[in-house]
């Protein structure tokens, strides 16, 4: 990559940022299409977020990705937000549109696209969604947009699951949504009718983490999706052992990045090249 006087700059705002894979595959994507763009990580301490947002305009950046812990906090500093951000209250992509900063969230759509790519059609499906944080909210919102049949929510902290239920109900009042208790996750009778099980918690990121849910009792058709991508999780190990369709979080990561890339460049993202850049790091989706 050759940086020139007219190279366009895209950034990543996070704290930390050093673990991020986005610079790797975004720069590979720019290079593949011969775009004069560069993607740089910026370590933005929470107390500096307002100044960092102002710097997008001051430095004429094309835009940024936003990651932990800024996804929600950044919203009030933007000039405009997409209808999706209005509903979920979190941003992962900012586009500098001639000095107006517009916030988008591509996480949920990235999740859906990664499943679509595998030939999984969400319409009418019964889903078990584990987790109630920002990731679960983005995914839940996108599932509703795909007109899934039912979403069963489970979270270690019951009240957060109820909060998520209420937020999703507000977005989609007629959707079939319910919460089951964390203690019941291995026993609830409807588990044999679940089509898609999603781990949207952080469990599995560390090798010391326990197996979050036992796959015994689920049918052989269940698709197991673990949004964790930094290691082969115990949950996906179990799914593999049982010969179940399964997917790790790299698919979601690449697809959310591809949608961001398209927002910044107006060009279709070269998914294969982005994937190849990760393969070189030994990570496979
Ligand atoms: P994010 O925004 O990335 O989703 P988060 O808001 O911190 O992150 O949410 C993390 C999720 O992982 C939560 O659902 C959390 O459950 P709690 O709401 O009970 O905290 C879940 N989680 C983290 N560690 C867990 C563990 N050891 N067992 C079960 N769930 C866990």
- Is residue 6 a contact partner of residue 235, using CB atoms and an 8 Å limit? no
Residue located via tokens 């399964």: 246
Render pLDDT for 49-85 as a digit per residue (tens, 0 to 9): 999 999 999 999 999 999 999 999 999 999 999 999 9
Nearest CA among 190, 183, 221 for reference residue 128 = 190
Both 118 and 230 in one domain: the answer is: yes
Pocket flag, ligand 1, residue 201 (CB < 6 Å): yes
Any domain includes 173: yes
Both 153 and 211 in one domain: the answer is: yes
Q: Please give the distance, rounded to the nearest whole angstrom, from the Cα atom of residue 159 to the centre of ligand 1.
A: 12
For the chain, the domain total comes to 2
Residue nearest ligand 1's atom 23 by CA? 202
Both 151 and 231 in one domain: the answer is: yes
Both 137 and 240 in one domain: the answer is: yes
Please give the pLDDT value at position 202: 96
Q: Give the atom of ligand 1 at the shortest distance from the alpha carbon of 210.
A: 27
Any domain includes 2: no
Both 95 and 115 in one domain: the answer is: no
- DSSP assignments along 9-51, one per residue: EEEEEESS-TT-SHHHHHHHHHHHTT--EEEEEEE--GGGHHH
Pocket flag, ligand 1, residue 140 (CB < 6 Å): no
Please give the pLDDT value at position 97: 97
Both 125 and 234 in one domain: the answer is: yes
Token pair of 269 as six digits: 């993202």
pTM of the model: 0.95
Pocket flag, ligand 1, residue 135 (CB < 6 Å): yes
Pocket flag, ligand 1, residue 164 (CB < 6 Å): no
Please give the pLDDT value at position 164: 97
Token pair of 140 as six digits: 């839940």
Low-confidence ranges of the chain (pLDDT < 50): none
Q: How far apart are CA 187 and CA 25, in angstroms?
A: 41
Q: Which sign does the torsion angle of CA 80, 263, 14, 5 carry?
A: negative
Please give the pLDDT value at position 285: 72
**Which residue range is the domain that position 19 belongs to?**
8-105+251-280
Please give the pLDDT value at position 1: 73
Both 24 and 127 in one domain: the answer is: no
How far, in Å, are 41, 70, 248, 269 from residue 53 at the CA level? 14, 11, 32, 25
CATH number where 89 lies: 3.40.50.10860
Please give the pLDDT value at position 279: 82
CATH number where 145 lies: 3.40.50.720
Pocket flag, ligand 1, residue 206 (CB < 6 Å): no
Q: Give the atom of ligand 1 at the shortest distance from the alpha carbon of 156.
A: 19
Please give the pLDDT value at position 284: 76
Both 236 and 134 in one domain: the answer is: yes
Please give the pLDDT value at position 245: 96
Both 177 and 233 in one domain: the answer is: yes
Both 219 and 157 in one domain: the answer is: yes
Look up 268 and say whether it is catalytic.
no
Q: Give the atom of ligand 1 at the shortest distance from the alpha carbon of 135.
A: 4
């Amino acid at each position: 990559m050759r940086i020139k006087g007219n190279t366009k700059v895209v950034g990543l705002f996070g704290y930390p940022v050093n673990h991020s894979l986005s610079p790797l595959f975004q720069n590979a994507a720019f290079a593949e299409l011969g775009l004069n763009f560069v993607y740089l990580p910026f370590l933005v301490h929470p107390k500096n977020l307002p100044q960092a947002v102002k710097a997008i305009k001051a430095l004429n950046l094309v835009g940024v990705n936003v990651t932990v812990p800024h996804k929600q906090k950044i919203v009030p500093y933007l000039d405009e937000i997409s209808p999706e951000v209005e509903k979920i209250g979190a941003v992962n992509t900012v586009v500098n549109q001639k000095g107006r900063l517009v916030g988008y969230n591509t996480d949920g759509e990235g999740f859906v696209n990664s499943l679509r790519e595998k030939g999984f059609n969400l319409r009418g499906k019964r889903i078990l969604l584990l987790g109630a944080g920002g990731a679960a909210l983005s995914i839940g919102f996108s599932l509703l947009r795909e007109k899934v049949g039912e979403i069963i929510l489970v979270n270690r902290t019951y009240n957060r699951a109820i909060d998520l239920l209420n937020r999703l109900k507000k977005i989609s009042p007629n959707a079939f949504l319910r919460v089951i208790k964390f203690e019941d996750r291995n026993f609830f009778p409807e588990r044999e009718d679940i089509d898609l099980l999603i781990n949207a918690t952080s469990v599995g990121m560390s090798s010391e983490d326990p197996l979050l849910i036992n796959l015994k009792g689920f049918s052989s058709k269940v698709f197991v999706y673990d949004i964790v991508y930094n290691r082969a999780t115990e949950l996906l190990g179990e799914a593999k052992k049982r010969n179940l369709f399964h997917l790790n979080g790299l698919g979601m990561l690449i697809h959310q990045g591809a949608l961001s890339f398209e927002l910044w460049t107006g060009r279709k993202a070269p998914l294969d090249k982005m994937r190849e850049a990760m393969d070189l790091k030994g990570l496979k989706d």
